[in-house]
Structure 1
């Protein structure tokens, strides 16, 4: 019993060590720049170090089905042979990664592989998936061709076949390998027009063809690359695996659901680790407090953006294949472009906040409103462009996206007509600037101070206390009395004295009022007098005996008060009123009271006096 426990403990320990090594190695492999064997050596160095050459811009001859088929096989064989030589040499050298001595061969193997992949029509797949699908599809297709009977070279239509020489109108549009469904088709439009490539249907069914033929033996008559797919799918790295891959335990290389066990373990671990890191960051940033929420949101998006890139790189380097690769790549690419759009949007909005907070722009004025609006429009356009580009990378046609956006925009415009009217009106307000934040205005029944100017409405703090929001569409179409912009406060009123008053009394009344409104003579330049506010060179007080009423003589008074401070004006007006009353009383000049004449039945008349009225 004790021996069984010790064996179980030892097995668990070994299992844990193996798993830890695989996972940690995959993370290091995805992060360490040294792993990328082909990124540190230039093509010139490669060609100098090995007696093999390949033109830099060489593409396969795909001018006919014959050239496409046999050039594909030839380049795949060259790639496989060089790759196996490099791998065997790398295994014999110490270290965990690809040794510099074998990098030239690994590089040339990759070049031949890229040339072979050029023979595949991957146009039906999103651009973001073509490279990864090109790897797996090319290797699977080669495995299929290695297991079936291929026609002789002369039996496959070539660019200069007898038919084409005899009849120039003869054109081979496609060729299917005998006894198979593998078809080479001439591309009729696009960048690849006129070239013969393995058709999109063939590419989409390569996995099916491989599953149907993988149990068959390799044909000895063919030039085969034996075990190429198994080598690619069971090892990390692109084509050339790092040296540490030889330490993976044999049980981890068994295939489950089209992927090896070590691939599933690394994938699950990386996904769980990514979600765990995102959760920890979210908890740390948003659940503790809500300060600097914009900065935290941007930081959160940056971390998700980086995690998405790293996770996508890991998925590529562990060589996932089939539907699991397509599904994960599509999801990650969608998340990548969406987060990229959100991050760009937040960064532009952050810049707008910085601009608005500067001393040159008021934080709640019309300038700040439109600064934010302009940056918001830019942010929306940039984010929308990124999303549209991202969707096109995922295989959704840009034309259909733009058409959908246009139709959706039209529907939104019709549904949000009032909002658009307010938006357009807000630009009119911005251009004309009839008022600004802080201005005292009178609009119909509203009298108050402009508190905020938004895209949709203007908020007015009424003198009675509450805030009223008036749509900008109305604000742009009604008369606005901007009290704040007046240069002065004007006062005019009438003083009525008795009808029985003599001319001397009327003249004296006028002089008294003028004297009350004037500045005392001999006033020093630095001395202050309240009447300075109503005596300006172009705005002197006006006092006239202007009317003879039915029951009184009318004295008209007019003056302008500077500056236009309401309560200072009211205080000064009160002082003027008291002075006029006092001095007229001292001069025994009596105010006229409104009178009404009433005719009685007996023929008598009766006069009734009213109260004194001073018009303000």
Structure 2
């Protein structure tokens, strides 16, 4: 039989025989959780190696020669698994291992109770380490595939102890009548012929079944149906007297006492309390339910205080600091859930269905918080990376990087969450299939969201806009603040924040003012009509020379022309393209050019015109006499013809 190294990190619960307690323990329950945490830690330190004890043989269980050979094999090969190559080998392996467990466990209990010491000695820790290792070895004879991984360790110990108590209460087994070779031979399953596919313990419904798939293929294990029935079978036979001389029901000791296999000294306080504390309800003592209720109350109060503190705490304006602060939440959730499970399993010693619920719930919380933590860590990596990329972090690349990190972070978080689902008994293939079907349903239901996602990709791929650029989108104009997975946020000129779906934005006409490589300079100057022709020619020549010599003006695009005589001014037009990196730079250059052009106009003897009008006054002399007579004669002639 083998003792695996990873057993050294395992811990197991314990119970107690049906004891009655007296009146003072109820008042001390408030101190129980703190005492459990401090005093229970001493039992989690175990030696690295353990010597094989001289255990007593179970009465009539195995023949002494086989027991001696098995012990010798265990000493020579301590990492060997239990022999499960036949129904007989499986049952003998289980019985032998549990005999060793009983002998070691009772010896350590007796030694510790007699010493009145606070802590176990190194020798006692070594023996407890071997007890737990042997209990794990006994559990390897079970098919535990229907039990969630997160609860399998503790549940397997309970099942092993319950099966032992069942075997102690039914008629003794005759091992020679069981099919197959005896334990310790480790005959390959293919070397024996005629072995049945299963064998049932006489007088029970407990079957040892040959495995057909997986790593245990060909080995004989207690079937998963039998494993599921063992608690119910134990509940039926527990009232029967023991046929084997064990002295007490070790399973009851295991589930009704705190600590790890050995009840700590503070349990004496509970024993001195009122007797009703030891009444049983749903496989737990009343004191265990009260301790669990007290623990839950403490957690609720602490959670409420923490939420209140976080609500009133100032939020940093720095994104990196906000994410670092956000990391605290999942870390605290993970620590709190693990502490809660430790107190319930290793100190209060919750067992049975309640333990399964607590184990499943805390595991789900831990893995959900872990996925949350992974997401926040990846977001923190993005903030750090974006802060080192200089100006690019304000552009499309930074926005695209943010979106990519979000999608990648979400995918990793979902993978972590899927793995956590397998820890509570959900098969990984079922998780993948569920994600596939659920993904299809989500894709159909979230078609607009997917359309917006594709629209955002189009914005990125076509490089239409960048974060920080000023653009006009049909009737909307503003500066792009962020391009997300679903929508784009635009800061309008009146400082309002406008959110536009990516799919809608990609369909609009986009005028991007920030991507201009040249800026158009075009202005008209109205000069007074008093400006003479020579002055006008001098002004035009001076303005042309100014534009050609300016370092920011493209000389081949510049022109200055007299274009019209308007109502109150002679109009000149200056036209050119200016090289500038941004609109702000252009406005500065344009301002300088306008001042210089005004100085040129004034220096050449002219001024800007302003709206005005000139009124000319003269006497009206009327019509000439000859024209008046001709008009009268024409009128009379027309009248005669008409008559």
| Pair 1:463–1:568, CA change in 2 (3 A) | farther
Task: Give the one of 48, 61, 79 matched to 1:42.
Answer: 48
Task: Give the one of 183, 195, 216 matched to 2:207.
Answer: 183
2:242 corresponds in structure 1 to 218
Task: Give the one of 565, 586, 590 matched to 1:569.
Answer: 590
Instruction: Name which of structure 1's ranges 126-135 and 253-262 shifts more when overlaid on structure 2.
Output: 253-262
Instruction: Please tell me whether the aligned partners of residues 437 and 453 of structure 1 are also in contact (alpha carbons under 8 angstroms).
Output: yes
> What SS is found at the alignment partner of 1:379?
helix
Alignment of 1:88-487 (within 5 A): 88-159=110-181, 170-220=194-244, 226-246=248-268, 248-249=270-271, 251=275, 252-286=277-311, 288-289=312-313, 291-292=315-316, 297-317=326-346, 318-356=348-386, 360=390, 365-461=395-491, 469-473=499-503, 475-476=505-506, 480-487=510-517
Instruction: Please tell me whether the aligned partners of residues 455 and 506 of structure 2 are also in contact (alpha carbons under 8 angstroms).
Output: yes
Deviation at 1:451, TM superposition (A): 4.4
Q: State the alpha-carbon separation in 2 of the partners of residues 346 and 103 from structure 1.
A: 41
5+ unaligned residues in a row in structure 2: which ranges? Answer: 1-21, 56-70, 317-321, 527-532, 564-570, 608-643
Q: State the alpha-carbon separation in 2 of the partners of residues 36 and 541 from structure 1.
A: 87
Instruction: Please tell me whether the aligned partners of residues 540 and 561 of structure 2 are also in contact (alpha carbons under 8 angstroms).
Output: no
Deviation at 1:423, TM superposition (A): 2.4
Q: State the alpha-carbon separation in 2 of the partners of residues 131 and 194 from structure 1.
A: 24
Instruction: Please tell me whether the aligned partners of residues 282 and 300 of structure 1 are also in contact (alpha carbons under 8 angstroms).
Output: no
CA deviation string 1:573-614 (max 9, x = no partner)? 68758967996989xxxxxxxxxxxxxxxxxxxxxxxxxxxx
Q: State the alpha-carbon separation in 2 of the partners of residues 458 and 297 from structure 1.
A: 25
Deviation at 1:409, TM superposition (A): 1.9
Deviation at 1:489, TM superposition (A): 2.9
Q: State the alpha-carbon separation in 2 of the partners of residues 155 and 448 from structure 1.
A: 90
**Structure 1 vs Structure 2 CA RMSD:** 4.1
Q: State the alpha-carbon separation in 2 of the partners of residues 444 and 383 from structure 1.
A: 39
**TM-score between both structures, scaled by the size of structure 1:** 0.76
2:558 corresponds in structure 1 to 541
Deviation at 1:136, TM superposition (A): 0.6
Instruction: Please tell me whether the aligned partners of residues 548 and 555 of structure 2 are also in contact (alpha carbons under 8 angstroms).
Output: no
| Pair 1:361–1:331, CA change in 2 (3 A) | farther
> What SS is found at the alignment partner of 1:330?
helix
Instruction: Please tell me whether the aligned partners of residues 97 and 244 of structure 1 are also in contact (alpha carbons under 8 angstroms).
Output: no
Deviation at 1:115, TM superposition (A): 1.6
CA deviation string 1:136-180 (max 9, x = no partner)? 11001100011001331121111499xx99x97644111111221
Q: State the alpha-carbon separation in 1 of the partners of residues 430 and 515 from structure 2.
A: 53
Instruction: Please tell me whether the aligned partners of residues 489 and 500 of structure 2 are also in contact (alpha carbons under 8 angstroms).
Output: yes
Q: State the alpha-carbon separation in 1 of the partners of residues 523 and 257 from structure 2.
A: 100
Instruction: Please tell me whether the aligned partners of residues 86 and 195 of structure 2 are also in contact (alpha carbons under 8 angstroms).
Output: no
1:28 corresponds in structure 2 to 38
2:541 corresponds in structure 1 to 514
1:500 corresponds in structure 2 to none
Instruction: Please tell me whether the aligned partners of residues 22 and 262 of structure 1 are also in contact (alpha carbons under 8 angstroms).
Output: no
Deviation at 1:207, TM superposition (A): 1.4
Q: State the alpha-carbon separation in 1 of the partners of residues 477 and 333 from structure 2.
A: 51
| Pair 1:425–1:490, CA change in 2 (3 A) | same
Instruction: Please tell me whether the aligned partners of residues 544 and 560 of structure 2 are also in contact (alpha carbons under 8 angstroms).
Output: no
> What SS is found at the alignment partner of 1:102?
helix
> What SS is found at the alignment partner of 2:208?
strand
Instruction: Name which of structure 1's ranges 118-127 and 509-518 shifts more when overlaid on structure 2.
Output: 509-518
Deviation at 1:241, TM superposition (A): 3.6
Instruction: Please tell me whether the aligned partners of residues 183 and 198 of structure 1 are also in contact (alpha carbons under 8 angstroms).
Output: yes
Instruction: Please tell me whether the aligned partners of residues 88 and 182 of structure 2 are also in contact (alpha carbons under 8 angstroms).
Output: no
| Pair 1:269–1:517, CA change in 2 (3 A) | same
Instruction: Please tell me whether the aligned partners of residues 403 and 484 of structure 2 are also in contact (alpha carbons under 8 angstroms).
Output: no
Q: State the alpha-carbon separation in 2 of the partners of residues 443 and 351 from structure 1.
A: 34
Q: State the alpha-carbon separation in 2 of the partners of residues 380 and 399 from structure 1.
A: 20
Q: State the alpha-carbon separation in 2 of the partners of residues 325 and 427 from structure 1.
A: 49
Q: State the alpha-carbon separation in 2 of the partners of residues 225 and 113 from structure 1.
A: 19
Instruction: Please tell me whether the aligned partners of residues 452 and 486 of structure 2 are also in contact (alpha carbons under 8 angstroms).
Output: yes
Instruction: Please tell me whether the aligned partners of residues 92 and 182 of structure 2 are also in contact (alpha carbons under 8 angstroms).
Output: no
Deviation at 1:490, TM superposition (A): 3.5
| Pair 1:81–1:542, CA change in 2 (3 A) | same
Instruction: Please tell me whether the aligned partners of residues 535 and 605 of structure 2 are also in contact (alpha carbons under 8 angstroms).
Output: no
Deviation at 1:93, TM superposition (A): 2.3
Deviation at 1:416, TM superposition (A): 2.9
> What SS is found at the alignment partner of 2:143?
coil
Deviation at 1:339, TM superposition (A): 2.2
Deviation at 1:572, TM superposition (A): 3.8
2:618 corresponds in structure 1 to none
Deviation at 1:62, TM superposition (A): 0.8
Instruction: Please tell me whether the aligned partners of residues 292 and 344 of structure 2 are also in contact (alpha carbons under 8 angstroms).
Output: yes
Q: State the alpha-carbon separation in 2 of the partners of residues 465 and 42 from structure 1.
A: 68
Instruction: Name which of structure 1's ranges 439-448 and 187-196 shifts more when overlaid on structure 2.
Output: 439-448
| Pair 1:464–1:580, CA change in 2 (3 A) | farther
Q: State the alpha-carbon separation in 2 of the partners of residues 585 and 230 from structure 1.
A: 113
> What SS is found at the alignment partner of 1:518?
helix
> What SS is found at the alignment partner of 1:47?
coil
Q: State the alpha-carbon separation in 2 of the partners of residues 580 and 570 from structure 1.
A: 16
Instruction: Please tell me whether the aligned partners of residues 442 and 448 of structure 1 are also in contact (alpha carbons under 8 angstroms).
Output: yes
| Pair 1:58–1:460, CA change in 2 (3 A) | closer
Q: State the alpha-carbon separation in 1 of the partners of residues 370 and 222 from structure 2.
A: 35
Deviation at 1:362, TM superposition (A): 6.6
Deviation at 1:443, TM superposition (A): 4.6
1:66 corresponds in structure 2 to 88
Deviation at 1:388, TM superposition (A): 0.9
